[in-house]
Amino acid sequence: MEIENSVIRSRRNPLIVKTAALLQRKGRAEAGRFLLEGEKLVREAAAARLPVEHVFLTENRTAQHLAEWNALFAGTVEKTPAFHVLSEDCFSKISSEKAPQGVIAVVKYLDFFRRRTIIYDEDLQALSRKRVILLYDMQDPGNLGTIVRSAVAFGTNVVILSAKCADLYHPRALRAAMGTLFHTDAYIVEDFFSAVRGLQKEGRRVLCASLAKNAVRMDRFALRREDCIVIGNEGHGIPPEVTNICDGSLYLPISDCAESLNAAAAAAVFLWELQKCR
């Protein structure tokens, strides 16, 4: 294990400034790196053999956990990350938590998160036997992470996102996903319509979760295992230009006492129904 001999105490330290920039989407995109915070996520990153470059520990936790972290990363990654010890004040600059757990990792962007203008035919063919959920302009990173967590739990490991969706590497998305992002294939596409049409070209139905006039109650529709569900923006749903090219719209019947379901809650129900298809 490589570890700094001295404690970093300056918030102006170049490494700390560089790392703090990863708290912002622009900084992450420019560096091709993101932050994982908390013991659970860092442990799962090691278990998933993610490309972890740096691990930051707070000064008061180092002696207690150093041997444990050493054992955790030994042999799990191609290159052992560099370890750095920070003062509490310095650590707070790179933390997004109100009550930090004292460990943060810097990780390279994941190669199974692919950014595309369109989804190529070879990608679509590779998805032919996989379950897919599509997210259109979802803005809340917490909802995004929660949907990914539900998707993986119910056997859907492919997520296609429109380019205006929240960032998958946002700290709230990572926390809500609880490590399931490390087992997810993600495609971020500029041309969402081509993704829908591409799936249809492969013989799959793409269905919208929508309250459109022609929408069918979920419990009165015969889903197929290969069907794909589109979940829309939290405030505006799915626009007509998307619903018009889909193969149908579905809605969940709910009590008159509730106006609607949270997007993540609705997605979980649809994913559960798809999981039941054999």
Residues 227 and 149 in one domain: yes
pLDDT band at 124 (very low <50, low <70, confident <90, very high): confident
Residues 35 and 124 in one domain: no
**The one-letter amino acid at 11:** R
Residues 194 and 180 in one domain: yes
Closest alpha carbon to 20 in 78, 93, 84, 77: 93
Of the residues 82, 108, 134, which one is the last residue of a structural domain? 108
Residues 120 and 96 in one domain: no
Residues 150 and 77 in one domain: no
CATH classification at residue 58: 3.30.1330.30
**C-alpha span between 200 and 163 (Å, rounded):** 20
**C-alpha span between 141 and 160 (Å, rounded):** 15
Q: Could you tell me which residues come within 8 angstroms of residue 129 by beta carbon, excluding any fewer than 6 positions away?
A: none
pLDDT above 70: percentage of residues in the chain: 95
Strand partners, 152: none
- Residue 233: give the domain boundaries: 113-276
Residues 118 and 100 in one domain: no
Which of 26-35, 114-123, 224-233 shows the lowest mean pLDDT across its residues?
114-123
pLDDT above 90: percentage of residues in the chain: 71
CATH classification at residue 184: 3.40.1280.10
Residues 241 and 270 in one domain: yes
Q: How high is the pLDDT of residue 62?
A: 60
Residues 211 and 91 in one domain: no
Asked whether the predicted pLDDT for residue 72 surpasses 90, the reply is no
Mean pLDDT of 109-120: 91
Residues 97 and 153 in one domain: no
Residues 155 and 183 in one domain: yes
Q: How high is the pLDDT of residue 152?
A: 96
Q: How high is the pLDDT of residue 61?
A: 65
Contact (CB, 8 A) for 107 and 133: no
Contact (CB, 8 A) for 75 and 103: no
Of the residues 108, 123, 138, which one is the last residue of a structural domain? 108
Please write the tens of the pLDDT for every residue from 151-207: 999 999 999 999 999 999 999 999 999 999 999 999 999 999 999 999 999 999 999
Residues 137 and 97 in one domain: no
Task: Write out the E strands in 117-195.
Answer: 132-135, 158-162, 185-189
Closest alpha carbon to 225 in 182, 150, 172, 275: 275
Structurally, how many domains does the chain consist of?
2
Q: How high is the pLDDT of residue 80?
A: 79
- Alpha helices (H) in 127-277, listed in sequence order: 141-153, 171-177, 192-201, 240-243, 263-276
Residues 121 and 101 in one domain: no
Of the residues 108, 136, 164, which one is the last residue of a structural domain? 108
pLDDT band at 101 (very low <50, low <70, confident <90, very high): confident
Q: Is 137 helix (H, G, I), strand (E, B) or coil?
A: coil
Task: Calculate the alpha carbon distances from 37 to 3, 26, 113, 167, 258 in Å.
Answer: 19, 19, 19, 16, 35
Q: How high is the pLDDT of residue 3?
A: 53
